[in-house]
Amino acid sequence: MDLLRDFTLDNPAIPWKTWILRFGFIEFALETYLLYRQYWVLCSGIVPKQLEKEIDQDTFDKSQRYGRAKAKFGVIKSVFSLVKNVYVIQKDLLPYAWDLSAWVLRTYAPRWMPTGEIATSLVFVFGFQIVEMVVDLPFGLWYHFVLEESFGFNKQTYSLYFTDKLKGIALSIVFGVPIGAGFLKIIQSTGNAFFLYVWVFMLAVQLVGITIYPTLIVPLFNKLTPLEPGELKERVEGLAKRLNFPLAELQVIDGSKRSAHSNAYFTGLPFLPKKIVIYDTLLEKAETKEVEAVLAHELGHWKMGHTSKLLGISSGHLLFVFALFSVFIDNKSLYEAFGFFAEKPIVIGFLLFNDVLSPTDALVKFAMNALTRKFEFEADEFSQRLGYAKELAGSLIKLQIQNLSSMDADPWYSSYHYSHPILTERLKAVGWTSEKKVSNEKPKIGESVEANGGSKKEL
């Protein structure tokens, strides 16, 4: 009993640095093992039985190559990230970066600018982000301009790519400075109960972000235009009216500006008018009723309250994280293990706390993916009940082909990584069976084919 009573997390005997390093290696080993299992699935040359009439062998093989290319890229990036993190921890670069941030502030900041902990924290965070962006730049360039381009997906120029990066930095500063300053000021001012005040503050930030993202942020990167009058607009507006969906705007986004991938989504706070956004790439490849089926799926998420439930869960998790952080915020032994002896900056404590909490991330990720997969099945069923089973299946197959998404997955890998069920699971759930006849000469992407009564379609 005495041993338990004397135990405290603020204990110099606890090897915090060793624990965090081990957590990093365990997470890396787990994700590498799961990727290894998935890689062998991606090496298969056999089209899943449910899709063998829908996807020709060349398309399937290209999808498998794309998946293997991304897997190899992911391993290389993960190894680099692991080495980088170990180097930062082992060389005690965090206190060096903190001292450098304080020196920059003292040396170059205008006289009117404060130079206390909050200002130093902001310089530290944004400086670290810029360094991270520069260090990871070769990976981003390779991914978009080599890997994605080799499979025909990348549509952006180098100029657009770097412009997006600069816009991202500017937005990070414009929004990050007041949010970061508010976060730190609340913790400094509210004592041991700070986690409640910080939680309310961050929840408000989240809700404001949901509100302004589609109207202020998205237009900085993409062009949004109203959906042109026609059959699709009439059908979508009719669907929204039938479901009492509070549709305010129906817009098309120029996703083709950067990528050939496609999607559709809606935005807006619960109980307020919503905006539906459709990628131009989806309009190019899918028929009217197939686009309508995709949107019926999205409206199913709204009708069953999935977005509100996920917002509530994420808010609850955030409260739990902040409450747990209140236990670690004054942990002197944790700070000293990483070279902070004279001071205990809040932002450093939060970073280290997140490293300590990292083993729970895998459990949270697994649980959240299981929940979102359940929601996807429910939204598919909703679309099916509205009479879109055939069109939904057709659109899912086309999206899978257009995006060269993996046609199959290792069950362990998909359980950990996938927020959506794999295609064959979704087709089976909506009771879909192919109506196509088996043919030795199967069409390739982009070829016109005769199907469903002779109407011409673009796969």
Give the closest residue to 338 by CA, choosing from 325, 349, 324, 327: 349
Partners of 90 in beta bridges: none
d(CA 333, CA 342): 12
Helix (H, G, I), strand (E, B), or coil: what is residue 372? helix
Residue matched to tokens 């990720």? 365
Q: Flag whether 144 is marked binding.
A: no
* Phi, psi at 250, each rounded to 5°: -130, 110
DSSP-derived secondary structure letter, 339: T
The 3-state DSSP class for residue 298 equals helix
Nearest to 321 by CA among 358, 266, 376: 358
Q: Say which amino acid occupies 249.
A: E
Q: Which of 58, 182, 38, 48 is nearest to 121 (CA)?
A: 182
What does the radius of gyration of the chain's CA atoms come to, in whole angstroms?
A: 25
Q: What's the DSSP call for residue 247?
A: E
CB 125 within 8 A of CB 176: yes
Rounded to 10 deg, the angle between the 306-328 and 346-383 helix axes is 160
298: annotated active-site residue: yes
Rounded CA gap, 328 and 194, in Å?
13
The amino acid sitting at 17 is: K
Which one of the listed residues 54, 148, 292, 298 is annotated catalytic?
298
The SS3 assignment for 53 reads coil
From the candidates 287, 380, 408, 410, give the one annotated as an active-site residue. Answer: 380
Q: Establish whether 6 is a catalytic residue.
A: no
* C-beta of residue 377 within 8 angstroms of C-beta of residue 426: yes
* Closest alpha carbon to 249 in 226, 272, 268: 226
- Is 376 marked as binding a ligand? yes
Q: Which amino acid, residue 270?
A: P
Residue 325 CA: distances (Å) to CA of 193, 291, 335: 11, 45, 14
Q: Are strands 448-451 and 455-458 parallel, antiparallel or unpaired?
A: antiparallel
| Sign, Cα dihedral of 386, 390, 395, 400 | positive
Q: Which positions are annotated as active-site residues?
A: 298, 380
User: From the annotation, which residues make up the binding site for Zn(2+)?
Assistant: 297, 301, 376
